[in-house]
Structures are given as structure tokens and as C-alpha cells.
């Protein structure tokens, strides 16, 4: 009798309760979200530059789209002439998607300025093209860790010694992996990526590598962490991850930044121009 | 403000009250408990005809100087038989007293009547004492008694709910409490997520919490002082006491080594609930154990040596993916020396260590960190006259901070063993504290503490461009970690060795002041001001259930916290102490309160200065305590209304290349709630003695929900769905409240045997409220809809405990 009592007491004591609850979350008002990661495949002469724009909504609601007046990308390195104005204007091809064919030279040389005009606010971002290295090999591995039920892909690249590289690997299915060349500068680098499940044999997986700069690397790092659905025990103070798109409406001068009045009226997302290499592998 | 004026004022007060009118003689001695020789703290010896009295100090010593003649002496302390004695005073007398316990069990008392009567008179304010019996009556989870959980029922004291370590006093952070165990500083006061404190209630003798009006003999933490004194050991006979509880048990042995002169005390607690978990298929586990060992030897009338040691460890593991071990160790040597009839001194030599380690199986490494301190302190009480007591002394602490050693678990792992840079510091303080009973109605306590903190040399030192470890990006309007320039060589001011050379010194003068005006024996008002400096800070991850406790010293990038507290109070006894009302208002102002930049990374961060910003904090509120102490019923109602907030504005813009960039700070530089801001805090406690066998206790707590961050929206980027947040700490978890009850049954003691026992039946959280420990958000895998998940720790928990002693 006493033993049963003991056990009952223990069960009651150590079962954490997790309940789904209803809470009212205040909405911040819709924010502009701009997905302007432009992937450059240098084997082609022209790129289709595609930018997705939307409006966020309350946490438990739907993600909506919006339309705006204008999206332009300017290349500061080009001296404007009649035939070559030094900028391109992206046109809406579907709701929320803006597109244009742009030549490689425009994207890979010179500083690029990205501007969005929306509801009387001017949003601005600037970046340079970031190169990458191709994927040497993709091999499916045997390895599983812990309890099995995983698929392993071993990836090899050769780092470029002359520059400080940051890489973003897209392992398909919205899974990403970040790496920087601190420990393998100029050398061949091999690593394993494990999918949390067994992928069906015969399935073709498209894996790509993007060259990113430090800022975009940090941004994707925080974003990946925040998108995870399980509780991170070592989570630090949550914060909205700001990308590199700033609200430039009140700024009179791009060099002097002393009127940070629009601090809360920012756009989410990122503008990056990155070199991409792709490779596929068929799962055994 | 004007220090010279302050000192002149001090001296003037002193001189104006030293009176040598007639022959005065001194009575001094030690007050002990008769059956164990345990010295008694805070016992008041009153001379009613002379309208004066004195209170025993932490070692039971008292001294009072009175005019010659015949006087009546009275000692009245709850739980003990009164002593009334006539004294013929025509020479200095040594009078030791042995108080006998009442025949009945030590019951009663929430706050002893005597402490209250003298409290009306004593200038000290914002201090609460708790008797050990009260602590043992308050019903808690698993039926265990606990010091820290008991002080949560006092006004002005809250915590973050279940599964939280530490406590918050008057809107202060958990690292701002000075926790003393027999004069030794303890860093972490909790076991097992805060359900048990590190204080074994069987070994505890005296508990005092100073929320404000902190005398100058205490320093180093800005919000409060929790002073716990343990028993020294029964030097008359051998005694055993203990208890068997639902998940933990405890035992205490004490006895004489040399009859009436030397004794020992050994106590231990261990939890065993974790052994049943695998049987129940639960992969998480939490356990603790601790040991208290003490010995004392009274060499002669004037000298006594006390030795004590404490060792405790907690272990918490989640799903075998990580194990967290932490705990305190203390070794303590004290020498009480009675210098003269009027002067008592205590010299302490203390070693104290706090260890915190993580074994991360999933990531393949171990992270062990600790902070060690070597403490030498001297405290002297000079009972100059019955109107003036002067306390003075000094305190020196040498610190070694080890932010961590990272060791791979597997020899073949890619992770290299790394020792993060150890930090060294020395904190020195000297103080003078004067208790001055100016007249029958008016008394003051004033003093000053001079504190000094020297940050010493270390192996590696990070230098940053423009001395800026945190960079503000004016385009993205975010703060970023700066990369150190010139990585290793220490700058001049350090030598290349550890602990040598001084890099920074901070000095502070901390004036303390409180005054009491007594309208009559039943009513008084008090006012107080104190300035405190805190040189070491706890960097803790407040948003998660397992805090990463990293203590860090002030230095070139982290400044000491400086607090100014103002308080005003009103106290009234009604019907001769059957009812009492205490109410206080307070205002606190803290400079250099740090906060983290968004997205700060704390684990094994060797350069924490890159993720923090300096700001300020303030707290203000009103506390009310209404107590009842009538025959069979004792209880109290405590209510606190308060606000605790902080502000971290952007730093002064530097002009860089002709560009001057205004910074946003955190939360746009506006005031925001600290993580422990609780608007309302209500605590109700009651204890009713039905008869000699049965006693019933209850407590009820209500606290406004804790500030937290909820996402205000979400967006999609490159296929990832990401939530985003509003301003910091704007939302609140649901309010926290629960009711606990317990019944204590004492079976009739057999006359022939020495065995005494009691059964405690308790129910924690009687109406099974699922109080939110945290709320997280995730996307439901099946429906694709976002949901809020609330995690709560305990529902209703019944428990049975068996306590014994012989």
C-alpha cells in the first residue's frame, strides 16, 4: 500500500504538463517582408532575378501578399549612360513576385543597392556579390547516429585560399547548413549532413552551395534557430532578427546616419547576391 | 553627498552623547539554551526600571554599561521561560544566562514578540526574522520545510515560480542578494529547481532577511541580505533528528566532544526520487545531496573556535542528452574573541566555491566552470554604552573566476580542450556602523562602508577598436559583437601572469542611515537610506528553465552596480501584540545594470563583454504586512504593490569619420519591465493548533504573471517560417497562484523513551492550478497551424513526511 502511494506521488510530481492554450497576442501591425536572395549561376550569361515580397500578419494568422510601387536594383559601379542606366526595375509577374532578367556583369561587379518603394516608405539595402566554390562530390553515407532512422549525405568542397569564405548549404526540404572556412582555409573540406528521417530510395535531392558574407551568415544562423519547432534550452533573449533592409525614408544623406527615427518601422528579410552551385544525388 | 560634512556630523553625534556622569559598570556574558548550550541570537535583556536594554549578537554575546545600583533584569524570549533577576551592580559583572525551553514543543511565533517590541525601538527597518519553527510549519511541495520558500511569504519577496532558482527582493535580480551561511557567502541558494534551499532546516538556528536599511557591515550585493546562522552543536548530550520524506530524507547528529566545551554537528540530506523514474519510463532525472559538518571548541571564557563545512551537489539530466551538475562548497574557520567586557570580536577565514558544469552528450563536450573565493573578515562589536553600540571591521575577498574548461567527451572528437580565460579580482571593504539610542523615543543607526574592487591581471585580454566590445551597426540598427584586435598580449597594467598586477580599481563610499521615532510602545515610524555597491554579476539566461550561471567580475567593460535605496515605514502593535501592522514604501535606483543585446550567445563565451550593454534600473513599491498572533492561531497577510523596470539607452554617439550615429539601445531606449517585475504579490499564511496533537497550516500565494516575450507575427524566408517579436518583456505569463495545506500530527510521547516523532500530511497546490513555467510557440506538425504550448511543473502534489528526534 505504501509503495503504491509512493509511486502515485512520484508520477504526479515528475510529469511535466504541457498543454496547448489560448492566448491573445497583440499584433504589431503588418510588416513588409522581402525575400531578395539572388542566386547567380555564372555558367549562364543572364540570371532571372526573383524577389518575393509580402506582408506579415498576426502570429496565428495567414501570411498575405501586397503590392508596391517599385523595386529597383542599382549598381553603383556603373557610370550611367543612355544605353546603360546602371539600374534595373523589377516587374510583378505574379502577386508578390517581382522579376527581371539581368546580366551577370551587372550582378557580379560593383556595389548593388536595392530599393523598395512601398506605401510612402523607402526601404534600402546594399551588398556586394559573394562568390562561392563548387561542390566536388556528394556521396550517400552509411552512418546514422544514436537511434538510426537517418540518411547521411557526405559533401566535399575545396575552399579558396585567397579569401575568407562563409558558406550556406541548402540541403533541400528547407534544411540548411552553415559553415565558415576558419579551419579549412584553402583545403578540401568534407562533412556529413544527416537528415532526420529515411529518404525514399530513388528520390532525387538537389543540394546547392551559396557563398555568403559574414552578415548574411549570422542572419541565417539566427533565423534557422528561430524557425526550429522544439524548445531550445539555451535560448537567449528572443529578438526579431533584422536583416539588412533599412527604412531610408527620412534619411537625407546615406553617409550621415544621425536620424534613427524610423527604428521601429523596418522591413524583414534580406537582400543578398550570392554565387550558387548545384549538384544532385539520387538516394539509394 | 558631501563626504567631509558627513564625517563631521558623525563625530559630532558621537561626542555629544558620551556621558560620564556617575560610576558605570558593565554587565556582559553569553546567553545560551539550557539543554544544548546553543548560543542564542537576538535575545533581548531588558532593564525595565532604567528603560533600556541590549540584544545578543550573532554569537550570543551581550554587554551593557549601567549606573551602579540595584536593577531588575528581565529576559523574555518566545519559546523560553522568562528570567527575572535582581542585580546589585557595584563592579563589572560576568553574567551568562541559560534559557530553558517551555515544556511544550517550541511552537508559535511568526516573528517573535520580543523582536517586535525591540523592533519598534530599534532603528533598523526593512528586516524580517523568521523562527525555525515557522519555517518548519509552512507546507511546501513534497512536504519539506524550507528557508527560501518560507521567505517568499514575506512582503517584497518573490520568485519566478516553480523550477526557478533564487529569489527577488523588492524588484531586484536574483544575483543581488547576499546570502550568508555562518558568515560565508553562498552563490546559489537552491537545490532541485528551487524546491529545496541549501539550508538544512534541522541545522538552522536563525534567519534574517534585510530588504533595505542594510547596516554597513554588509556589502557586495545591492538588493538584500539573507543571513542564516546554523546551530553549533549540542555540547550537553548526544541528539539525533531527521525525517523521511517522499523524495528526500535527512538526518542530523550532534553531541559533545568535551562536555560543555566542545561539540560537533553533522547533518545530511539526500534525494532518492530519481531512482523510481526509470521504472516509470521517464528519461529526465534530478537529484541532490548535501552535508553540513560543524565543530566548536570553547578554549576559555574569552575564546571560542568554530569550524564548519558545507558541501552540496545537484544533478539534473534531460533525456540523457545533457547533464547539469552544480553546487556550493564551503570551509569556514571562525574565532570568537572577547577583547574586553565591552568589546566582542569575530575573525573568519572562509573558502567558498560554486561549481557549475554541463555535460553535453549531443554536442560531445563537457563544460565546467566555477567561482572560488578566499575570504578574511574581522567584525568587532563595541558595546560602548547602553545608548551607543559601535560595530566596525573589514572584509577582504580574493576571487578566482573560471568561466569554463571545455573538454571533449570522446578522444577522437574534433573539439579541442580549451580553458577559457580565468579572471582574478580582490574586493576589500572597511566599515563603521553605529547604533545610537539618542532618547527614549528616537534612535538612529548610521554608518559608512568603504569598498574597493581591484580587477587583477589575467592570461589573455581582449582589446577592441575604440575600446568598444559591442558595435552598433547604424544601417541595420542592431548591435554586434566586435572582433578583438591584437588578440593576446596583456596591456600595461596587467603583467603576463594570472592574478598579478592591477588593471582596474573601483572605489565606492557607501553611506547607510536609518532612524526610528517611537510615538509610544506600540507605534513607530522609521526612515532609511542606503547606498550599496556590487562588483560581481551573474550573467544568467533568464528565459530558460536551466539557468547558465556565470559569475563575472567588474572590469574595464563591466562597471559595478551602484544602488541608492530610500525607504519609509510605519509600525503598529495592536492589543499588545495580538495584531501588528507593518507597512513600508521604498524606492531603488541602480546604476550600471547590464542587459544583453538581442541574440546574445552565452555558452562558453570567452568575451561576454561583447554581448552586454550598460543601463540603469529602478524599482519602487509599497509593502504591507498584517500579522495575527492570538492563542491558538498565528498567521499573516503580506501584500506588495511594486514596479521593477530597466532602461538600456543607446550609448553616446561617437563621431567616426565625420559620421555621428545615434544608437537605438534596447527597446528603443525606453523603460521596460525587468524579467522579475511582479505588480501584485499576495501571501497568506495561517497556523492553527487544534490541540497538543494536531496542528493545521496553510499558505496561499498570488503573484502577477512574469514578464515574457511573445511573437507578434511571423514571416516566411527561403522556405523557413520564422516568428518575430515586439519590444522586450512586454507580455506576461498568466498570473501565478496556489494554495497549500498541511496537517501535523504528534503522537503522544512515551514517557519512558526519548523518541519523539511527528507525521506531516501535506497537499501542495490544492486546487491543481497549472501555473505556467514558460510558454513557447511552435507549428503543429499535423495541422500546420501555430500554437502556444504552456509548460507547467506541478499540479496537485500530496505528500507524507515522518520526522523524528531522540
Predicted pLDDT of residue B282: 62
Check CB contact under 8 Å for A266 and B477: yes
Residue A227 touches chain B, beta carbons under 8 Å: yes
- Residue B32 to residue B61: CA distance in whole angstroms: 9
Residue among A12, A218, A258 minimizing CB distance to B660: A258
Q: Which residue, among B456, B451, B329, has the nearest Cα to B396 in the 3D structure?
A: B451
**Sequence-ordered list of residues with C-beta below 8 angstroms from that of B451, at least 6 positions apart, any chain:** B219, B220, B427, B428, B429, B507, B508, B510, B533, B535
Check CB contact under 8 Å for A224 and B478: no
- The whole-chain average pLDDT of chain A stands at 79
Check whether B105 has a pLDDT greater than 50. Answer: no
How many CB atoms are closer than 10 A to CB B260?
Answer: 10
- Residue B54 to residue B513: CA distance in whole angstroms: 20
Q: Which residue, among B798, B760, B772, has the nearest Cα to B243 in the 3D structure?
A: B760
Check CB contact under 8 Å for B475 and A20: no
| Residue of B715, B719, B775, B783 for testing the chain A interface, max A β-carbons within 10 Å | B715
Task: State the pLDDT confidence band at B792, using cuts at 50, 70 and 90.
Answer: confident
Predicted pLDDT of residue A10: 43
Q: What integer is the mean pLDDT of B328-347?
A: 95
Cell of B264: 560537533
Phi then psi dihedrals of residue B136, to 5 deg: -75, -15
Q: What integer is the mean pLDDT of B601-618?
A: 78
**Sequence-ordered list of residues with C-beta below 8 angstroms from that of B10, at least 6 positions apart, any chain:** B434, B446, B448
Bigger pLDDT: B575 vs B425? B425
Predicted pLDDT of residue B772: 85
Q: Report the range out of B293-297, B574-578, B688-692, B718-722 with the highest average pLDDT.
A: B293-297
Q: What integer is the mean pLDDT of B601-628?
A: 83
CB-CB contact of B562 with B616 (8 Å): no
In chain B, % of residues over pLDDT 70? 86
CB-CB contact of B202 with B705 (8 Å): no
Predicted pLDDT of residue B106: 35
Q: How far is CA A27 from the centre of its chain?
A: 24
Shortest CA distance from B709: residue in chain A = A238
Q: How do residues A239-256 score in pLDDT, each as one tens digit?
A: 677 788 888 776 665 555
Cβ contacts from A onto B, under 8 A: 218
Check whether B109 has a pLDDT greater than 50. Answer: no
Residue B154 DSSP label: S
Percent helix / strand / coil, chain B, rounded to 5: 10, 55, 35
Task: State the pLDDT confidence band at B379, using cuts at 50, 70 and 90.
Answer: very high
Check whether B395 has a pLDDT greater than 90. Answer: yes
Q: What integer is the mean pLDDT of A18-40?
A: 81
**Sequence-ordered list of residues with C-beta below 8 angstroms from that of B48, at least 6 positions apart, any chain:** B72, B74
Check whether B170 has a pLDDT greater than 90. Answer: yes
Helix-then-strand count for chain B, H and E? 4, 53
Residue among A224, A244, A266 minimizing CB distance to B720: A224
Residue A19 touches chain B, beta carbons under 8 Å: yes
Strands (E), B457-575: 470-473, 478-481, 502-520, 523-534, 536-539, 550-553, 561-574
CB-CB contact of A19 with B770 (8 Å): yes
Alpha-carbon separation of residue A199 from A219, A224, A282, A284, B723 (angstroms): 29, 21, 10, 9, 28
Residue B91 DSSP label: S
Predicted pLDDT of residue A93: 85
Predicted pLDDT of residue B487: 52
Residue among A13, A54, A239 minimizing CB distance to B142: A13
Residues of chain A in contact with residue B719, where contact means CB-CB under 8 angstroms, are 174
Q: For cell 519523539, what's the residue?
A: B756
| Residue of A3, A8, A13, A147 for testing the chain B interface, max B β-carbons within 10 Å | A13
Residue B110 DSSP label: S
Residues of chain A in contact with residue B716, where contact means CB-CB under 8 angstroms, are 33, 35, 54, 63
Check CB contact under 8 Å for A14 and B273: yes
Residue A122 touches chain B, beta carbons under 8 Å: no
Query: DSSP secondary structure string, B376-387?
Result: EEEEEEEEEETT
- Residue B445 to residue B436: CA distance in whole angstroms: 6
Cell of A127: 551588398
- Residue B716 to residue A116: CA distance in whole angstroms: 18
Q: Which residue, among B74, B75, B53, has the nearest Cα to B64 in the 3D structure?
A: B53
Q: How do residues B304-313 score in pLDDT, each as one tens digit?
A: 999 999 999 9
Residue A31 touches chain B, beta carbons under 8 Å: yes
- Residue B427 to residue B562: CA distance in whole angstroms: 15
Predicted pLDDT of residue A6: 40
Predicted pLDDT of residue B542: 52
What is the model's pTM?
0.83
Predicted pLDDT of residue A12: 42
Residue among B603, B653, B711 minimizing CB distance to A25: B711
Residues of chain A in contact with residue B318, where contact means CB-CB under 8 angstroms, are 233
Residue among A17, A223, A264 minimizing CB distance to B770: A17
CA torsion, points B242, B243, B249, B252, in degrees to nearest 10?
-10
Strands (E), B100-215: 127-130, 157-158, 168-169, 177-181, 184-186, 190-191, 196-197, 204-210
Query: Among A192-201, B336-345, B562-571, where is mean pLDDT lowest?
Result: A192-201
Min Cα distance A106 → chain B (Å) is 23
Predicted pLDDT of residue A252: 62
Check CB contact under 8 Å for A14 and B799: no
- The whole-chain average pLDDT of chain B stands at 83
Cell of B53: 536594554
CB-CB contact of B805 with B241 (8 Å): yes
Predicted pLDDT of residue B626: 93
Q: What integer is the mean pLDDT of B183-196?
A: 82
Min Cα distance A263 → chain B (Å) is 7
Bigger pLDDT: B393 vs B285? B393
Check CB contact under 8 Å for B800 and A18: no
Predicted pLDDT of residue B589: 94
Residue A161 touches chain B, beta carbons under 8 Å: no
Check CB contact under 8 Å for A236 and B600: yes
Query: Among B138-147, B348-357, B572-581, where is mean pLDDT lowest?
Result: B138-147
Predicted pLDDT of residue B276: 64
Check whether B381 has a pLDDT greater than 80. Answer: yes
Q: Report the range out of A73-82, B441-450, B520-529 with the highest average pLDDT.
A: B441-450
| Residue of B718, B768, B774, B776 for testing the chain A interface, max A β-carbons within 10 Å | B718
Residues of chain B in contact with residue A12, where contact means CB-CB under 8 angstroms, are 794-798
Predicted pLDDT of residue B107: 38
Predicted pLDDT of residue B110: 35
For CA atoms A133, A137, A140, A145, give the dihedral sign. Answer: negative
**Sequence-ordered list of residues with C-beta below 8 angstroms from that of B556, at least 6 positions apart, any chain:** B455, B467, B503, B504
Residue A223 touches chain B, beta carbons under 8 Å: yes
CB-CB contact of A73 with A16 (8 Å): no
Check whether A27 has a pLDDT greater than 70. Answer: no
Burial of B568 (0-12, 13-18, 19+ CB in 10 A): middle
Strands (E), A76-120: 87-94, 97-103, 112-118
Check whether A1 has a pLDDT greater than 90. Answer: no
Q: How do residues B5-46 score in pLDDT, each as one tens digit?
A: 777 777 666 655 554 456 889 999 999 999 889 999 888 898
Min Cα distance A193 → chain B (Å) is 15
Residues of chain A in contact with residue B480, where contact means CB-CB under 8 angstroms, are 218
Q: What integer is the mean pLDDT of A38-63?
A: 81
Min Cα distance A83 → chain B (Å) is 32
**Sequence-ordered list of residues with C-beta below 8 angstroms from that of A280, at least 6 positions apart, any chain:** A138, A204, A205, A206, A207
Query: Among B392-396, B560-564, B616-620, B777-781, where is mean pLDDT lowest?
Result: B777-781
Predicted pLDDT of residue B253: 95
Predicted pLDDT of residue B20: 47
Task: State the pLDDT confidence band at B457, using cuts at 50, 70 and 90.
Answer: confident
Residues of chain A in contact with residue B660, where contact means CB-CB under 8 angstroms, are 256, 258
Residue A195 touches chain B, beta carbons under 8 Å: no
CB-CB contact of B208 with B178 (8 Å): no
Quote the ipTM score: 0.84
| Residue of A14, A20, A251, A254 for testing the chain B interface, max B β-carbons within 10 Å | A14
Q: How do residues B642-695 score in pLDDT, each as one tens digit?
A: 999 999 888 877 666 655 667 777 877 889 998 889 999 999 999 898 888 898
Q: Which residue, among B589, B702, B710, has the nearest Cα to B171 in the 3D structure?
A: B589
Q: What integer is the mean pLDDT of B226-245?
A: 91
Query: Among A31-35, A143-147, B315-319, B686-690, where is mean pLDDT lowest?
Result: A143-147
Task: State the pLDDT confidence band at B50, using cuts at 50, 70 and 90.
Answer: confident
Check whether B337 has a pLDDT greater than 60. Answer: yes
| Residue of B162, B404, B480, B722 for testing the chain A interface, max A β-carbons within 10 Å | B722
Bigger pLDDT: B183 vs A60? B183
Check whether B506 has a pLDDT greater than 80. Answer: yes
Check whether A40 has a pLDDT greater than 60. Answer: yes
Q: Which residue, among B634, B641, B635, B639, has the nearest Cα to B624 in the 3D structure?
A: B639
Check CB contact under 8 Å for B789 and A21: yes
Shortest CA distance from B727: residue in chain A = A239
Min Cα distance A85 → chain B (Å) is 26
- Residue B742 to residue A171: CA distance in whole angstroms: 58
Q: How do residues B711-770 score in pLDDT, each as one tens digit?
A: 777 788 888 878 777 778 888 889 999 999 999 898 887 778 888 888 989 898 899 998
Phi then psi dihedrals of residue A165, to 5 deg: -105, 145
CB-CB contact of A53 with A68 (8 Å): yes
Amino acid at each position: 500500500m505504501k509503495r503504491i502511494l509512493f509511486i502515485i506521488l512520484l508520477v504526479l510530481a515528475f510529469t511535466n504538463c504541457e498543454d496547448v492554450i489560448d492566448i491573445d497576442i497583440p499584433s504589431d501591425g503588418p510588416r513588409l517582408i522581402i525575400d531578395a536572395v539572388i542566386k547567380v549561376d555564372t555558367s549562364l550569361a543572364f540570371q532571372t532575378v526573383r524577389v518575393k515580397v509580402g506582408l506579415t500578419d498576426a502570429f496565428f494568422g495567414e501570411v498575405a501578399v501586397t503590392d508596391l510601387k517599385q523595386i529597383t536594383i542599382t549598381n553603383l559601379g556603373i557610370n550611367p549612360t543612355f544605353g546603360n542606366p546602371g539600374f534595373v526595375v523589377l516587374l510583378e509577374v505574379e502577386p508578390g513576385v517581382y522579376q527581371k532578367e539581368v546580366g551577370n556583369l551587372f550582378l557580379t561587379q560593383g556595389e548593388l543597392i536595392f530599393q523598395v518603394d512601398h506605401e510612402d516608405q523607402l526601404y534600402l539595402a546594399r551588398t556586394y556579390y559573394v562568390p562561392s566554390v563548387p561542390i566536388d562530390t556528394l556521396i550517400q553515407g552509411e552512418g546514422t547516429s544514436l537511434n538510426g532512422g537517418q540518411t547521411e549525405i557526405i559533401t566535399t568542397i575545396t575552399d579558396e585560399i585567397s579569401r575568407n569564405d562563409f558558406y550556406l548549404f541548402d540541403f533541400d526540404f528547407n534544411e540548411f547548413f552553415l559553415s565558415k572556412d576558419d579551419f579549412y582555409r584553402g583545403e578540401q573540406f568534407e562533412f556529413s549532413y544527416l537528415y532526420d528521417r529515411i529518404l525514399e530510395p530513388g528520390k532525387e535531392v538537389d543540394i546547392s552551395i551559396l557563398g555568403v558574407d559574414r552578415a548574411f551568415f549570422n542572419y541565417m544562423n539566427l533565423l534557422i534557430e528561430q524557425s526550429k519547432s522544439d524548445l531550445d534550452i539555451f535560448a537567449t533573449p528572443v529578438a526579431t532578427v533584422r536583416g539588412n533592409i533599412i527604412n531610408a525614408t527620412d534619411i537625407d544623406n546615406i553617409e550621415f546616419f544621425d536620424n534613427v527615427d524610423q527604428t521601429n518601422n523596418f522591413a524583414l528579410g534580406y537582400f543578398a547576391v550570392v554565387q550558387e552551385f548545384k549538384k544532385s544525388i539520387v538516394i539509394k | 553627498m558631501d563626504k567631509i560634512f558627513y564625517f563631521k556630523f558623525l563625530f559630532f553625534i558621537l561626542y555629544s552623547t558620551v556621558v560620564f556622569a556617575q560610576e558605570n559598570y558593565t554587565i556582559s556574558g553569553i546567553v545560551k539554551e539550557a539543554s544544548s548550550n546553543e548560543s542564542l541570537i537576538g535575545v533581548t535583556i531588558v532593564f525595565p526600571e532604567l528603560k533600556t536594554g541590549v540584544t545578543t549578537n550573532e554569537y550570543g554575546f551581550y554587554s551593557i554599561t549601567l549606573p551602579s545600583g540595584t536593577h531588575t533584569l528581565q529576559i523574555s524570549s518566545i519559546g523560553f521561560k522568562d528570567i527575572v533577576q535582581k542585580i546589585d551592580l557595584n563592579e563589572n559583572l560576568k553574567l551568562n544566562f541559560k534559557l530553558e525551553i517551555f515544556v511544550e514543543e517550541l511552537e508559535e511565533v511568526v516573528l517573535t514578540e520580543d523582536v517586535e517590541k525591540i523592533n519598534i525601538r530599534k532603528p533598523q527597518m526593512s528586516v524580517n526574522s523568521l523562527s525555525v519553527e515557522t519555517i518548519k510549519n509552512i507546507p511546501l511541495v513534497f512536504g519539506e520545510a524550507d528557508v527560501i520558500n518560507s521567505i517568499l511569504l514575506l512582503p517584497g519577496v518573490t520568485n519566478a515560480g516553480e523550477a526557478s532558482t533564487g529569489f527577488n527582493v523588492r524588484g531586484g535580480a536574483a544575483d543581488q542578494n547576499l546570502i550568508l551561511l555562518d558568515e560565508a557567502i553562498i552563490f546559489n541558494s537552491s537545490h532541485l529547481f528551487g524546491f529545496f534551499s541549501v539550508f538544512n532546516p534541522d541545522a538552522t538556528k536563525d534567519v534574517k532577511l534585510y530588504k533595505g536599511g542594510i547596516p554597513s557591515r554588509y556589502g557586495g550585493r545591492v538588493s538584500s541580505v539573507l543571513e542564516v546562522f546554523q546551530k553549533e552543536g549540542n555540547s550537553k548530550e548526544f541528539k539525533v533528528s531527521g525525517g523521511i520524506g517522499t523524495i528526500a530524507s535527512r538526518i542530523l547528529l550532534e553531541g559533545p566532544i568535551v562536555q560543555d566545551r566542545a561539540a560537533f554537528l553533522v547533518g545530511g540530506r539526500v534525494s532518492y526520487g530519481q531512482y523510481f523514474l526509470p521504472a516509470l519510463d521517464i528519461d529526465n532525472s534530478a537529484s541532490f545531496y548535501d552535508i553540513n559538518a560543524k565543530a566548536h571548541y570553547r578554549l576559555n571564557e574569552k575564546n571560542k573556535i568554530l569550524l564548519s563545512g558545507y558541501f552540496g551537489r545537484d544533478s539534473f539530466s534531460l533525456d540523457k542528452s545533457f547533464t547539469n551538475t552544480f553546487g556550493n562548497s564551503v570551509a569556514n574557520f571562525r574565532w570568537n574573541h572577547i577583547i574586553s567586557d565591552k568589546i566582542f570580536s569575530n575573525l573568519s577565514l572562509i573558502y567558498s566555491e560554486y561549481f557549475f558544469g554541463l555535460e553535453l552528450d549531443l554536442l560531445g563536450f563537457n563544460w565546467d566552470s566555477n567561482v572560488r573565493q578566499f575570504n578574511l573578515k574581522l567584525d568587532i562589536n563595541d558595546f560602548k554604552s547602553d545608548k551607543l553600540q559601535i560595530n566596525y571591521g573589514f572584509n577582504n575577498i580574493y576571487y578566482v573566476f573560471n568561466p569554463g574548461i571545455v573538454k571533449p567527451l570522446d578522444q577522437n572528437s574534433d573539439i579541442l580542450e580549451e580553458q577559457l580565460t580565468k579572471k582574478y579580482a580582490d574586493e576589500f571593504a572597511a566599515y563603521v556602523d553605529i547604533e545610537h539610542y539618542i532618547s527614549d523615543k528616537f534612535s538612529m543607526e548610521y554608518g559608512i562602508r568603504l569598498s574597493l574592487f581591484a580587477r587583477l591581471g589575467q592570461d589573455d585580454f581582449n582589446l577592441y577598436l575604440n575600446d568598444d566590445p559591442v558595435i552598433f551597426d547604424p544601417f541595420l540598427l542592431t548591435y554586434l559583437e566586435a572582433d578583438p584586435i591584437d588578440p593576446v598580449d596583456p596591456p600595461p597594467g596587467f603583467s603576463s601572469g594570472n592574478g598579478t598586477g592591477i588593471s582596474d580599481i573601483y572605489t565606492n563610499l557607501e553611506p547607510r542611515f536609518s532612524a526610528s521615532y517611537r510615538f509610544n510602545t506600540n507605534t513607530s515610524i522609521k526612515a532609511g537610506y542606503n547606498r550599496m555597491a556590487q562588483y560581481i554579476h551573474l550573467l544568467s539566461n533568464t528565459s530558460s528553465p536551466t539557468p547558465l550561471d556565470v559569475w563575472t567580475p567588474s572590469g574595464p567593460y563591466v562597471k559595478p552596480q551602484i544602488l541608492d535605496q530610500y525607504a519609509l515605514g510605519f509600525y503598529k502593535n495592536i492589543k499588545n501584540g495580538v495584531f501588528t501592522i507593518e507597512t513600508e514604501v521604498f524606492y531603488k535606483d541602480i546604476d550600471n545594470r547590464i542587459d544583453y543585446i538581442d541574440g546574445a550567445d552565452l555558452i562558453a563565451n570567452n568575451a561576454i563583454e561583447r554581448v552586454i550593454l550598460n543601463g540603469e534600473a529602478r524599482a519602487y513599491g509599497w509593502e504591507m504586512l498584517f500579522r495575527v498572533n492570538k492563542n491558538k492561531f498565528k498567521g499573516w497577510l503580506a501584500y506588495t504593490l511594486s514596479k521593477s523596470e530597466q532602461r538600456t539607452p543607446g550609448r553616446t554617439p561617437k563621431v567616426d569619420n565625420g559620421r555621428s550615429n545615434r544608437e537605438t539601445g534596447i527597446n528603443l531606449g525606453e523603460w521596460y519591465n525587468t524579467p522579475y517585475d511582479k505588480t501584485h504579490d499576495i501571501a497568506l499564511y495561517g497556523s492553527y493548533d487544534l490541540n497538543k496533537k494536531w496542528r493545521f497550516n496553510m499558505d496561499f500565494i498570488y503573484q502577477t504573471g512574469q514578464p515574457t516575450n511573445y511573437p507578434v507575427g511571423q514571416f516566411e524566408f527561403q522556405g523557413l517560417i520564422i516568428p518575430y517579436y515586439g519590444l522586450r518583456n512586454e507580455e506576461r505569463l498568466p498570473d501565478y497562484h496556489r494554495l497549500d495545506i498541511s496537517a501535523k500530527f504528534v503522537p503522544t510521547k512515551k514517557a519512558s523513551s526519548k523518541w519523539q516523532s511527528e507525521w506531516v500530511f501535506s497537499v501542495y497546490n490544492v486546487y491543481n492550478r497549472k501555473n505556467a513555467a514558460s510558454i513557447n510557440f511552435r507549428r503543429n506538425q499535423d495541422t500546420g497551424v501555430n500554437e502556444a504550448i504552456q509548460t507547467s511543473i506541478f499540479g496537485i502534489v500530496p505528500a507524507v513526511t515522518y520526522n523524528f528526534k531522540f
